[in-house]
Chains A and B, each alone.
Chain A
Amino acid sequence: MTAAITIAGVHKRFGNLKALDGVEFNVERGEFFGLLGPNGAGKSTLINVIAGLSRASEGAVAVLGHDVVSDYRNSRMKLGVVPQELVFDPFFTVREVLRIQAGYFGLGPECYPWLEELMSELQLANKADANMRTLSGGMKRRVLIAQALVHKPEVVVLDEPTAGVDVELRQSLWVFVRKLHEQGHTIVLTTHYLEEAESLCDRIAILNHGKVIALDTKQGMLARGIGRRMRVCISTAEPIADLPVSLANKLRRQQANVIELELDRDSDSVIDLLDELRGTGVAVTDLHTEEADLEDVFVELVGQGRK
């Protein structure tokens, strides 16, 4: 079956700067795919190339088998993009904006019921006749999502859709995006909120300096070497003044009478650790362990990239 998005050897150069350096992967149909990376990693450039907003210097991108340059009409019909910036046309109302956007995609009055449904789903119905300028940032963000969906695209790309939105709106947007995914849309998401990628995405690519430095399922990503790390939080009766050298090497954080250590699952033992602490006269009052999360994976991989 044709992949939702095929990215083949994509390079993008801006003068001497390599924004994308041989990016190559597929997003399969029906996936909830996460694209992560630090600022300037090339995420938005890659999305722009997929959307046809920017031309690749080398390589090719296809949406559901349609090349984004040579077969742009079909690829754009299949793709909905929610841009990162809160852009809007100040001349028009919400309803006009949606009707105009639908018109660009060749849709006329027959799609108006769908546009009304979209506005209702995104809680925009009572703002339908309000000028875009008068909307709050959150409302503008909802309009951006509605605009991306006017033509019912099979593949939806959301470029940091929750950047700068409040917690309540973020939650409601995720409920909506999850629903889209359940309805069969392929979703590609870039986000800075790693816990969101962790809770939403099936598969994740991490981009750094224009290169894919990791591409795996969420479980695969967490089970990597980094996943063998384990965090141990220990509470003691009194703050520890001098931590033994062997433990100081593993110290991640120390705050009052709580220390957080990072252990290797294979070579370190929690029992040995407790014995060592007791040997120094420390009274342990509580202990709990945490598995590695996506943030650990991300920090580790990006850190390796910097080295």
Chain B
Amino acid sequence: MNPRGFYTLFYKEVLRFGKVWLQTLGAPIITSLLYLLVFAHVLEGRMEVFEGVSYSAFLIPGLMMMSLIQNAFANSSSSIIQSKVTGNIVFLLLAPLSYLEMYLAFMLAAVVRGLVVGTGVLVVGIFFVDLPVHSVVALVLFGLLSGAVLATFGVIAGIWAEKFDQLAGAQNFIIMPLSFLSGVFYSIHSLPPFWQQLSHFNPFFYMIDGFRYGFFGVSDVDPGFSLVVLLLSLGILAMLTLSLLSRGYRLRD
């Protein structure tokens, strides 16, 4: 075990995004705020997704979760690809860190960024609308697990990608569509039956649905089931990451 080595990598990753906070924290919070202003302005009063919950209140948890997962993915993936492209990943690969320590450090730092951005969206959002809290435990669990799933996916994408445009491809063709089509802006019950069914194959849907349950106590599917989906997703992706790291895939060729 090399706990200090693990902590150092975690700290370095947090320090890295902290040094460019305007880009890594400020920008996504502002983007979410713009979504909130535009969508709330257009749809407030015209639709009520959950009974007794305003559209703005419904939207904020979705935006929180969307920015949380997008930023968790962006942090781990961009850090690894930058280190690979600039070559400074060599300093990490020369260090006596295990694959598990490396994975956990990258993943947790990315979760921290996701949580900071998500909390930032909440802080800005509650200026506009009152949000109830039904279950703090559910909020924490879904926030952490969703961040961990996307941070892990980011580690895999960072290891896999050899160029920035490959990573941009993963972000624009996988992360963005899946997060936009997961129910951030709507409840899947408002969709035609086919699209409702299809949404159940989108893991991001369970993240947002479970997270909303934490605020409103209402969800499209059983939050316990959502939790199981997230745990399974995390387990599979974590095993894949450790397998890639232990084989040195695209890192120790």
> Which residues of A pack against B, CB within 8 Å?
14, 51-55, 72-74, 76-77, 79, 81, 83, 85, 87-92, 96, 100-101, 103-108, 147
Helix, strand, loop or mixed for chain B's interface? helix
Q: Which residue of A lies closest to B93 (CB)?
A: A53
- Which segment, of B5-13, B177-185, B217-225, faces chain A? B5-13
A36 to B97, CA, bound (A): 31
- Verify B88–A104 contact, CB threshold 8 A: no
> Which residues of B pack against A, CB within 8 Å?
2-5, 7-9, 11-12, 15-16, 19-20, 83, 86-88, 90-98, 248, 252-253
A87 to B252, CA, bound (A): 17
- Verify A104–B8 contact, CB threshold 8 A: yes
Residues of A within 8 A of B86 (CB): 87-90
Q: Which residue of A lies closest to B2 (CB)?
A: A106
- Verify A103–B4 contact, CB threshold 8 A: yes
- Verify A52–B252 contact, CB threshold 8 A: yes
A87 to B91, CA, bound (A): 9
Residues of A within 8 A of B8 (CB): 100, 103-104
- Verify B91–A101 contact, CB threshold 8 A: yes
In the assembled complex, the CB of B103 is this many whole angstroms from the nearest CB of chain A, namely 15
Q: Which residue of A lies closest to B10 (CB)?
A: A103
User: Which 3 residue pairs are nearest across A and B when measured between Cβ atoms?
Assistant: A103-B8, A104-B95, A87-B87
A52 to B97, CA, bound (A): 12
Contact among A53, A106, A147 with B5 in the assembled complex (CB-CB below 8 Å) = A106
A77 to B5, CA, bound (A): 12
Contact among B2, B4, B5, B93 with A52 in the assembled complex (CB-CB below 8 Å) = B93
Contact among B2, B94, B98, B252 with A81 in the assembled complex (CB-CB below 8 Å) = B94
Contact among B90, B96, B248 with A73 in the assembled complex (CB-CB below 8 Å) = B96
Residues of A within 8 A of B16 (CB): 91
Contact among B4, B94, B98, B253 with A108 in the assembled complex (CB-CB below 8 Å) = B4
- Verify B11–A103 contact, CB threshold 8 A: yes
- Verify B96–A77 contact, CB threshold 8 A: yes
- Verify A53–B91 contact, CB threshold 8 A: no
Contact among B3, B88, B95, B248 with A87 in the assembled complex (CB-CB below 8 Å) = B88
Residues of B within 8 A of A106 (CB): 2-5, 96
- Verify A105–B95 contact, CB threshold 8 A: yes
Residues of A within 8 A of B93 (CB): 52-53
If A72-B96, A91-B16 touch, does A53 touch B90 (CB 8 Å cutoff)? yes
Instruction: Give the interface centre of B12, B19, B87 by most chain A CB atoms within 10 Å.
Output: B12
In the assembled complex, the CB of A81 is this many whole angstroms from the nearest CB of chain B, namely 6
- Verify B252–A54 contact, CB threshold 8 A: yes
Q: Which residue of B lies closest to A79 (CB)?
A: B94
In the assembled complex, the CB of B253 is this many whole angstroms from the nearest CB of chain A, namely 6
Residues of B within 8 A of A96 (CB): 15
- Verify A91–B19 contact, CB threshold 8 A: yes
A14 to B253, CA, bound (A): 9
A123 to B229, CA, bound (A): 55
A76 to B248, CA, bound (A): 16
If A54-B252, A73-B2, A87-B86 touch, does A103 touch B7 (CB 8 Å cutoff)? yes
In the assembled complex, the CB of A91 is this many whole angstroms from the nearest CB of chain B, namely 5
- Verify B253–A54 contact, CB threshold 8 A: yes
A103 to B87, CA, bound (A): 19
Residues of A within 8 A of B91 (CB): 87, 89, 101, 104, 147
The 13 listed contacts between A and B (C-beta, < 8 Å) are: A52-B94, A53-B252, A73-B98, A76-B95, A76-B96, A87-B90, A96-B15, A103-B8, A103-B11, A104-B97, A106-B96, A108-B4, A147-B91
If A87-B88, A91-B19 touch, does A51 touch B94 (CB 8 Å cutoff)? yes
Q: Which residue of A lies closest to B247 (CB)?
A: A55
A91 to B8, CA, bound (A): 15
Residues of A within 8 A of B11 (CB): 100, 103
A87 to B9, CA, bound (A): 18
Residues of B within 8 A of A89 (CB): 83, 86, 88, 91
Residues of A within 8 A of B3 (CB): 106
Residues of B within 8 A of A103 (CB): 4-5, 7-9, 11-12
Q: Which residue of A lies closest to B7 (CB)?
A: A103
